[in-house]
């Protein structure tokens, strides 16, 4: 698996309100979305890529490419309590994360037309709530941006949780326009190195260029009727 990391902090830039969980005003507009992401608290952006050339001892006719883009950022709600309103920061930060992460998926895997499956994830540090992870990926402010940029229509499948630094997470994906296409049910395993620190969050966008290798277990759209009746008579 190939990993590349971009550190968004640049000399001479000033953060405005990062981690405050409220509207941020800039004296001067950021030059691009990477700079905007940094001003909103992003520390690093990492891309992990994998190209599967063979499986089960047999070469694939077309290699399967998977990638995940991971942003590590200050938790804008750290220490705010379980009754804090999460919406203002989520509405401000989530679209920017979706933009910069999906841009990197497109850079890694090619145009949107070459991407067939997608998914998302989030991990909150030990000082945060599970709801903090959900707030940045489970609203239209993240999902709609990512879906539009990848030309999808399906709901994004997801994984989220809480962890100390050096977290691992398995992010699921399915077909971007036909979520019932069983051939495209797949995952990508990620290790988040030094992240998340106690007051940080990791947000993940993932994508794949095709189905699982040698997928052949049928399709939910063509399955016959299956009920608990199939269990009758199997035991005394």
Query: Considering the domain boundaries, does residue 55 fall inside one?
Result: yes
Total domain count, the chain: 1
In a domain, 236, yes or no: no
Q: What is the pTM of this model?
A: 0.90
Give percent of the chain with pLDDT exceeding 70.
89
The answer to whether residue 107 is domain-embedded is: yes
226: CATH: 3.30.1330.110
Per-residue pLDDT of 64-109, as tens digits, reads 999 999 999 999 999 999 999 999 999 999 999 999 999 999 999 9
In a domain, 163, yes or no: yes
Residues with Cβ within 8 Å of residue 230, at least 6 apart in sequence: none
Is 42 within the bounds of a domain? yes
List, for residues 32-50, the tens digit of each pLDDT value.
999 999 999 999 999 999 9
Its sign, for the CA torsion 76, 23, 29, 102, is: positive
Decide if 37 contacts 7 (C-beta within 8 A): no
Per-residue pLDDT at 209 exceeds 60: yes
Give the range of the structural domain holding residue 213, as residue numbers without chain letter: 2-231
């Amino acid at each position: 698996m190939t990993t590349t990391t971009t550190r968004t902090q640049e000399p001479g830039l000033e953060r405005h309100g990062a981690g405050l969980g409220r509207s941020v005003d800039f004296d001067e507009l950021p030059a691009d979305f990477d700079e905007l992401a940094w001003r909103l608290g992003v520390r690093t952006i990492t891309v992990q890529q994998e190209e599967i050339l063979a499986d089960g001892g047999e070469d694939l006719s077309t290699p399967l490419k998977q990638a995940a883009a991971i942003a590590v950022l200050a938790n804008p709600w750290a220490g705010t309590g379980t009754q804090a309103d999460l919406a203002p920061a989520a509405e401000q930060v989530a679209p920017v994360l979706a933009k910069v992460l999906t841009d990197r998926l497109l850079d890694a895997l090619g145009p949107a037309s070459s991407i067939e499956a997608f998914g998302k994830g989030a991990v909150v540090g030990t000082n945060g709530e599970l709801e903090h992870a959900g707030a940045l990926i489970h609203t239209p402010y993240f999902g709609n941006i990512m879906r539009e940029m990848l030309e999808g229509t399906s709901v994004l499948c997801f994984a989220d949780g809480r962890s100390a630094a050096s977290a691992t997470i398995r992010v699921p994906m399915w077909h971007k326009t036909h979520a019932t296409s069983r051939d495209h049910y797949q995952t990508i395993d990620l290790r988040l190195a030094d992240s998340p620190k106690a007051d940080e969050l990791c947000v993940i966008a993932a994508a794949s260029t095709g189905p699982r290798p040698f997928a052949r277990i049928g399709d939910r759209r063509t399955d016959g009727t299956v009920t608990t009746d199939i269990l009758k008579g199997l035991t005394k």
